[in-house]
Amino acid sequence: MKVYNSNEIKNIALLGNDGSGKTTLTEALLFQNGQIKRRGRITQKNTVSDYFPVEQDYGYSVFSTVFHVERNGKKLNIIDCPGSDDFVGAALTALNVTDTCLLLINGCFGPEVGTQNHFRYTERLKKPVIFLVNQLDDEKCDFDNVVEQLRGIYGNKVTPVQYPVNAGPGFNSVIDVLLMKKLTWKDEGGEATYEEIPESELEKAEEWHKTLVEAAAENDEALMDKFFETEQLSEDEMREGIRKGMVTRSIFPVFCVCAYKNMGVGRLMEFLGNVVPFVNEMPAVHNTRGEEVKLDPNGPTSIYFYKTGVEPHIGEVQYFKVMSGTLKTGDELTNADRGSKERIGQIYVSSGANRETVEQLSAGDLGCTVKLKDVRTGNTLNAKDCDNKFNFIKYPNPKYTRAIKAVEESNTEKMMAALTRMRQEDPTWVIEQSKELRQTLVHGQGEFHLRTLKWRLENLDKIPVEFFEQRIPYRETITKSARADYRHKKQSGGAGQFGEVHLIVEPYQDGMPDPTVYKFGNQEIRINIKGKEEIDLEWGGKLVFINSVVGGAIDTRFMPAILKGVMSRMEQGPLTGSYARDVRVIVYDGKMHPVDSNELSFMLAGRNAFSMAFKEAGPKILEPIYDVEVFVPSDYMGDVMSDLQGRRGLIVGMGSENGYEKIQAKVPLKEMASYSTTLSSICGGRASFIMSFASYELVPGDLQNKLIEENAKEDQD
């Protein structure tokens, strides 16, 4: 294989909603370029993408697939990404290591929520976008309406380069307003016949051609001057203007394709090869120190590992991007994240499961390797005298959580090792050993996402597992002041144990003034602060501990033991065993024994006094509330809002964003357990949501009683 320089390489992410036809388009691209002899079909489970057993079993993409196309002395690296929002991690990774997004749209549905999400990521990362309308042979396809929707959402930057002459079951031709030609295909697709535009289409073609010329001219002063003089640009000048406009995101070209019939694919590849920016024309990436790392093939070698795949009979396949320099077979590199040395034994370029050996790769190119000793996804390897480290991929928060347990307890350790390995492949799987909930939690992007994880554990690792709903991390607090005293006394031969603690508890809020006096019935207790500790609790909230003991009733050296006793009860609240928070504790009196008092005695006395006072202080259970944003087609708004309200959700805002309705709500975490599945069911997979922790709020009284009863029953069992 030829060694390509940075000015000959283009990196492209292929994104689109589920059902838009990305896998079919990949087959057509490779077939059209002669890299495969026949196009595979998803139904026949023989495609270049979707080659993992789990993908073939479920019939949808789970992992991104890297492949390349060599055309006219240029190399196009393309990453085909899963369409489902459950596998958004693969799309984000691909966008971060590529330079242009090819955003596929189902011609029957137009821009969908998945389209919106993917476009939002390109916006954040400032990546050029090409819209590609597929399924033009479907009777429900309305190309003009799709373009109208796109322009309604993204503005006049959306500019068709092509439009179909006869969208529908008889589709076989398009008008290309860049070339100003009619392209027609035979029934079997393949190469198009180029013809003059018929009279019936000439007015529409000239109108769109003028729009395209204006859009191209706006991106270059010289082109703009020529356009003002002649109102025309040459084909090459238009390509140059479009390329510059794509880099600055001031133009989003629209192309037509029928991937299943292999129509329009050759022309698309021609445009990608001629117009899409090369890797050296895009803005430089910065390392973790904020330093710009230039894409220089002659600079120090630095490679970033963006993906890990595990394949049968091979093991880990590590995918990387050459960030700087030139990587050669046999190079000795240092892992900037782990400090270990690695030798690059072999370098490959990928086309799905097929890999081709190469001797070297230049800056900006994508490759993979195997049999590395100590490399993880996100690691950087550097040559001598180079200390780059990269951390530019930011993944979304999880939206779906389940507790996981091996059916056979003896497989627990094996299961944890497999989960850790799988997270290397997909960083949006988050594994958590929750001490608080006493569960192993798996966090992901949705029900499909976690179902895939379960399939792999059971079918590849042969570890049967069960999913359960996660326990909710409730919190306990108090609503009023209360006092209690407790004497711990034990005498069983030898040294005894004695400690007596009198304390007050009350709710705490930031900024509260220090206490001075309390009244309980006829008793008045004055506070004289001798010492104060303000503790930020690791589970949220605060504990303020005040020593107000006078006259030496309790020696100061026993105060840490009392605090330790209080903290031990804060970690296991009296109502449900949940963490307690936002409490102020004032120790104001007590007694000690000159011989029998010790730290253990005061720890136990403090623990029990606190527990007694807490139960008398109007204890309440708090539940986690999440901010939820749902992006939904307008015709499903009512159903989605009704469902959220049925989940005790509070609707706090509504609005439109890029053609979709956005609902903002605050919803208890307990009610979000299966929300992704329900939302998909309500909207036919055409909605998405994001959620993030907002606050802890009091649970309703009837629910609190139910939780206390359930906890008591669990303790009894």
pLDDT of 717 reads 67
User: Residue 54: is its pLDDT beyond 80?
Assistant: no
Q: What is the pLDDT of residues 289-301, one digit of tens each?
A: 999 999 999 999 9
CA distance 673 to 35: 45
Amino acid in the structure at residue 107:
G
Q: What is the pLDDT of residues 195-212, one digit of tens each?
A: 999 999 999 999 999 999
Report if residue 390 sits inside a domain.
no
127 and 181 part of one domain: yes
CATH number of domain containing 327 = 2.40.30.10
Contacts of 511 (CB under 8 A, 6+ apart): none
Report if residue 568 sits inside a domain.
yes
664 and 633 part of one domain: yes
Tokens of 668: 């208890």
Report if residue 127 sits inside a domain.
yes
**DSSP of 172-201:** -EEEETTTTEEEE--TT-SSPEEEPPPHHH
pLDDT of 411 reads 96
pLDDT of 493 reads 66
Pair 597, 590: CB distance under 8 Å: no
| Domain assignment of residue 692, given as a range | 623-703
Query: Is pLDDT larger for residue 317 or for residue 425?
Result: 317
User: Residue 498: is its pLDDT beyond 90?
Assistant: yes
Task: Please tell me the total count of domains within the chain.
Answer: 5
CATH number of domain containing 429 = 3.30.70.870
pLDDT of 633 reads 84
Q: What is the pLDDT of residues 530-543, one digit of tens each?
A: 999 999 999 999 99
Report if residue 640 sits inside a domain.
yes
Report if residue 175 sits inside a domain.
yes
CA distance 171 to 192: 13
Report if residue 710 sits inside a domain.
no
User: Residue 51: is its pLDDT beyond 70?
Assistant: no
Choose one of 382, 417, 438: the last residue of a domain: 382
271 and 290 part of one domain: no
Angle between helices 199-217 and 221-230 (to 10 degrees): 140
Report if residue 328 sits inside a domain.
yes
User: Residue 401: is its pLDDT beyond 70?
Assistant: yes
Pair 609, 484: CB distance under 8 Å: yes
424-438, 497-511, 547-561: which range is least confident on average?
424-438
Q: What is the pLDDT of residues 341-360, one digit of tens each?
A: 999 999 999 888 788 999 99
CA distance 533 to 587: 12
311 and 415 part of one domain: no
Q: What is the pLDDT of residues 459-481, one digit of tens each?
A: 889 999 999 999 999 999 999 99
Choose one of 328, 349, 382: the last residue of a domain: 382
Query: Is pLDDT larger for residue 493 or for residue 405?
Result: 405
User: Residue 7: is its pLDDT beyond 80?
Assistant: yes
Please name which of 185, 356, 183, 261 lies closest in space to residue 25, comparing C-alpha atoms.
261
Please name which of 342, 160, 359 lies closest in space to residue 252, comparing C-alpha atoms.
160
591 and 627 part of one domain: no
- Give the Å distances, CA to CA, from 511 to 258, 517, 526, 534, 707: 65, 18, 21, 12, 31
Q: Rg (Cα) of the chain, in Å, rounded? A: 32
127 and 57 part of one domain: yes
What is the rounded average pLDDT of the residues 507-512?
Answer: 93
Tokens of 408: 């056979």
243 and 331 part of one domain: no
Residue located via tokens 């407790």: 486
For the chain, give the number of residues: 717
What is the rounded average pLDDT of the residues 640-644?
Answer: 96
CA distance 306 to 320: 6
140 and 12 part of one domain: yes
Report if residue 445 sits inside a domain.
yes
**What is the helix, strand, coil percentage profile of the chain, to 5?**
30, 30, 35
376 and 439 part of one domain: no
612 and 628 part of one domain: no
H/E stretch holding 685 reads none
Choose one of 249, 281, 313: the last residue of a domain: 281
250 and 162 part of one domain: yes
Q: What is the pLDDT of residues 261-275, one digit of tens each?
A: 999 999 999 999 999
104 and 121 part of one domain: yes
* Cα atoms found within 13 Å of the Cα of residue 419, Cβ hemisphere only: 25
CATH number of domain containing 601 = 3.30.230.10
